[in-house]
Amino acid sequence: MKALLNVNPILWQKDHLYLLDQRKLPDETSMMVLDTAPEVTQAIKDMVVRGAPAIGITAAYGVVLAAKAAYATHPEQWQTQIDKDLQQLAQARPTAVNLVWALQRMKACFSTIIGNPIPVLLKEAQCIHQEDIAANHVMGTLGAALLPTDCRVLTHCNAGALATGGYGTALGVIRSAFEAKKIIQVYADETRPWLQGARLTAWELLQDNIPVTLLADSAAAALMQQKRIDWVIVGSDRITANGDVANKIGTYSLAVLARQHHIKFMVVAPTSTIDMSLVSGEHIVIEERAMLEVLNNAAEGATAWNPAFDVTPAELVDVIVTEKGIIEAPNTERLLALMR
Q: Are residues 203 and 307 in the same domain?
A: yes
Q: What is the pLDDT of residue 95?
A: 83
Residues 245 and 332 in one domain: yes
Task: Given the residues 237, 244, 275, 318, select the one marked as catalytic.
Answer: 237
Domain assignment present for 3: no
- For residue 121, pLDDT over 70 is answered with yes
Position 7 scores a pLDDT of 61
Q: Are residues 152 and 246 in the same domain?
A: yes
Q: How far from 193 is each of 190, 246, 309, CA to CA, in Å?
A: 9, 17, 12
In a domain, 308, yes or no: yes
Q: For residue 105, what are the contacts with CB-CB under 8 A and spacing of at least 6?
A: 60, 124, 128
Q: What is the distance between the alpha carbons of residues 33 and 114, in angstroms, rounded to a whole number?
A: 29
Residues 293 and 148 in one domain: yes
Please check whether residue 4 lies inside any domain of the structure: no
Are 73 and 174 in a shared domain?
A: no
**Total count of domains within the chain:** 2
- Of 133, 163, 198, the one marking the end of a domain is 133
Domain that holds residue 185: 141-339
What does the pLDDT average to over 141-151?
98
In a domain, 119, yes or no: yes
Looking at the domain assignment, is residue 188 inside a domain? yes
Whichever domain contains 66, its CATH number is 1.20.120.420
Q: What are residue 187's DSSP bridge partners?
A: 154, 213
End-of-domain residue from the set 112, 133, 154: 133
Same domain, 49 and 156: no
Starting at the edge strand found earlier in the chain, the sheet holding 16-20 runs 10-13, 16-20, 31-34
Whether residue 224 is contained in a domain is answered as: yes
Tell me: do 111 and 238 sit in the same domain: no
Whether residue 122 is found in the same domain as residue 175: no
Is a pLDDT exceeding 70 seen at residue 23? yes
What does the pLDDT read at residue 94?
A: 86
Residue 283, in any domain of the structure? yes
What average pLDDT does this structure show over 106-116? 95
Query: Left (φ > 0), alpha (ψ -120 to 50) or beta: where does 200 sit?
Result: alpha
Catalytic residue status for 237: yes
pLDDT at 67 exceeding the cut of 60: yes
Q: What pLDDT sits at residue 112?
A: 92
Mean pLDDT of the chain: 95
Helix/strand/coil (H/E/C) assignment for every residue in the chain: CCCCCCCCCEEEECCEEEEECHHHCCCCCCEEEECCHHHHHHHHHCCCCCCHHHHHHHHHHHHHHHHHHHHHHCCCCHHHHCHHHHHHHHCCCCCCHHHHHHHHHHHCCHHHCCCCCHHHHHHHHHHHHHHHHHHHHHHHHHHHHCCCCCEEEEECCCCEHHHCCCCECHHHHHHHHHHCCCEEEEEEECCCCCCHHHHHHHHHHHHCCCCCEEECHHHHHHHHHCCCCCEEEECCCEEECCCCEEEECCHHHHHHHHHHCCCEEEEECCHHHEECCCCCHHHCCCCECCCHHHHCCCCCCCCCCCECEEEECHHHCCEEEECCEEEECCCHHHHHHHHC
* pLDDT range class, residue 8, cuts 50, 70, 90: confident
Whether 314 is in a domain gets the answer: yes
Predicted pLDDT at 136: 96
Q: Of all residues in the chain, what percent carry a pLDDT higher than 90?
A: 94
Is residue 147 domain-shared with residue 246, that is, in the same domain? Answer: yes
pLDDT digits (tens, 9 = 90+) for 261-280: 999 999 999 999 999 999 99
* 15-42 average pLDDT score: 95
pLDDT at 12 over 90: yes
pLDDT at 134: 96
Encode pLDDT of 225-270 as tens digits: 999 999 999 999 999 999 999 999 999 999 999 999 999 999 999 9
Domain end: 106, 133, 160, which one?
133
pLDDT band with cut points at 50, 70 and 90 for residue 1: very low
113 and 171 within one domain: no
CATH for 194: 3.40.50.10470
Tallying the residues shown for the chain, one arrives at: 340
Shared-domain flag, residues 122 and 205: no
What's the pLDDT score for residue 233? 98
Q: How much of the chain, in percent, has pLDDT values that exceed 70? A: 98
227 and 113 within one domain: no
